Amino acid sequence: MKFYSTSNRSHQVELSEAVIKGLAPDQGLYMPMEIPVLEEAFLENISDLTFREIGYRVIGALFSTDLTETQIKDLVDHTLSFDAPLVDLEEDVYSLELFHGPTLAFKDFGARFCSKLMSMLIAKSDQKVRVLVATSGDTGSAVANGFLGVEGVEVIILFPKGKVSELQEKQFTTLGQNVTSLEVDGVFDDCQRMVKSAFLDSELNEKLLLTSANSINIARWIPQCLYYFYAFSRLPKKGKKVVFSVPSGNFGNLAAGILAQKMGLPITHFVAATNENKVVPTFLGGEEFAAKPSVQTISNSMDVGNPSNFPRLLALYDFDENRLKTQVSGAFYSDAETIAAIQKVKKKGYTLDPHGAVGYLGLKDFMDANPDYQGVFLETAHPGKFRDVVENALGEKVILPERLAAFLKGEKQVFSMANDFEEFKTFLASLSS
């Protein structure tokens, strides 16, 4: 299958180039030229299948022209090595727990898929690949751990100083080996701008093979559609309309859900739920899209003022804004509302992280106005990753899983950097010497 740039549909590349390059030379994001629609029999019998069996079928439909059956099986087995349970929280409201992977965040799915696929594609190359990652939290930890020790790959992570939780930081700044962390004096959008500038710098790209493992890379983005299929397969009320509420920052996760819908999964509606960084909900509410400087909140992984996957949302609807606004609604919530949701749901015996709390609020508000739905909100990270926020909200300790607590014992190793591309470029250029 070929992949086109969202900035120019006539620019088309093979899978290997789309994955290794990450971003198109015209700054567009790669999209599959054709989105396969799965047969009705598969969807009708999906409840009888395991997570991996669903994965073989979905990934096979997307990549069978580029990968062998054995490669697809290996790729899916590596990616889906842990569960994503659907938890019945209240009447017709379900939490999809995506935090049972190595770094206890949803991005483990995409990072493991991306690292495995990239290692397959560069297996015969003698050139080192430099993976550049801008993170507001969970992307850095998932990518660092997903690529740790992968031969021929060096990971360079940029994160905003003082704006990532301690546990998130520890998960990528203590690893060493082929992972380097750069602490940027700025916000996430500065980190993202510096990474994109590196991809477009001809001088750097003559010396280094640069790629991305953010959700702008199709190898990070596409596999996220798998857990939408799996969640649907576990819903008990077949035939009832389904809505997914997706806590969103860069909007790759939401775009992956829409991809699943385009492949035939009968999702009726999506809610794009955010914190005060509300550029997409504002757009969905009828205004022009306008990027803005991000503001800091307690749900820091969503502190994004210029979401890079916005062009994908448009591309999935053939750049028809009205179609997008019909099937996706937006909602945004303050820190105070987020804390109140954590407290409310705790009374039901369930602990939310601040991002899941935003997703829960978006779902509840939609279902209050549309009671004929059953709904799923994505619980994207273990509450222990945001321990200070959750403990302050609840007035009680959050017990950390052992593998999460182990990261706290590591020693932080970082390079400090201004939010200046030239300084970043000098650092990258030194890698080739």
Q: Would you please indicate which residues are annotated as catalytic (active-site) residues?
A: 107
8-44 burial code (b ≥16 CB/10 A, e <16): eeeebbebeebbbbbbbeebbbbbbeebeebeeebbe
Alpha carbons 402 and 197: distance in angstroms, whole number:
39
Alpha carbons 189 and 140: distance in angstroms, whole number:
14
Alpha carbons 50 and 8: distance in angstroms, whole number:
38
* CA distance readout (Å), 200 to 13, 197, 211, 336, 421: 17, 5, 11, 40, 12
Show the tokens assigned to 331: 């909602």
The three-point CA angle 96-113-40 to 5° equals 60
* Residue 192: closest CA among 283, 304, 291, 355: 304
Residue identified by tokens 């706290």 is 408
